[in-house]
Chains A and B, each alone.
Chain A
Amino acid sequence: MIELMLSAALVMFGLAGAIALIRIIIGPSLPDRIIALDMIGVILVSVVAVISVILNTRAFLEVILILAILAFISTIAFSRYIERGAIIERKRDR
Chain B
Amino acid sequence: MYKTNDLILRTTTSLIAFMMLGFAIYLLIAGHNAPGGGFVGGLLTAGAVLLMYMAYGTEAVEKMIPINFTTLVPIGLAVAVGTGVGSFIFNQPFLSHTFGYFTFPIFGEIELATAMLFDVGVYLTVVGVVMTIILTIANDR
Contact surface of A with B, Cβ cutoff 8 Å = 59, 62-63, 65-66, 69-70, 72-73, 76-77, 80, 83-84, 86-92
Chain A contacts of B9 at CB under 8 A? Answer: 76
Kindly identify which residue among A62, A83, A92 contacts B35, using a CB–CB cutoff of 8 Å.
Answer: A62
Contact surface of B with A, Cβ cutoff 8 Å = 4, 9, 16, 20, 23, 27, 34-36, 40, 44, 47, 50-51, 53-54, 56-60, 134-135, 138-139
Chain B contacts of A84 at CB under 8 A? Answer: 4
Assess A69 versus B54: contact at CB under 8 Å? Given A88-B138, A92-B60: no
Chain B contacts of A87 at CB under 8 A? Answer: 54, 138
A60 nearest CB neighbor, chain B only: B35
A88 touching B53 by the CB < 8 A rule?
Answer: yes
Complex Cα distance, B59 from A2, in Å, reads 54
Which secondary structure dominates chain B's binding surface? helix
B59 touching A73 by the CB < 8 A rule?
Answer: no
Nearest first, the 9 closest Cβ-Cβ pairs linking A and B are A88-B138, A92-B57, A89-B57, A88-B53, A90-B58, A62-B35, A92-B60, A59-B35, A73-B47
Q: Give the shortest distance, in Å, between A82 (CB) and chain B (any CB).
A: 12
Chain A contacts of B134 at CB under 8 A? Answer: 88
A90 touching B35 by the CB < 8 A rule?
Answer: no
Chain A contacts of B138 at CB under 8 A? Answer: 86-88
A80 touching B58 by the CB < 8 A rule?
Answer: no
A69 touching B20 by the CB < 8 A rule?
Answer: yes
Given contacts A76-B54, A88-B54, A88-B58, 9 further A-B contacts (CB under 8 A): A59-B34, A69-B20, A70-B47, A76-B9, A80-B54, A88-B53, A89-B57, A90-B58, A92-B57
Complex Cα distance, B54 from A90, in Å, reads 10
Chain A contacts of B20 at CB under 8 A? Answer: 69
Q: Give the shortest distance, in Å, between A20 (CB) and chain B (any CB).
A: 23
B27 nearest CB neighbor, chain A only: A62
B58 touching A72 by the CB < 8 A rule?
Answer: no
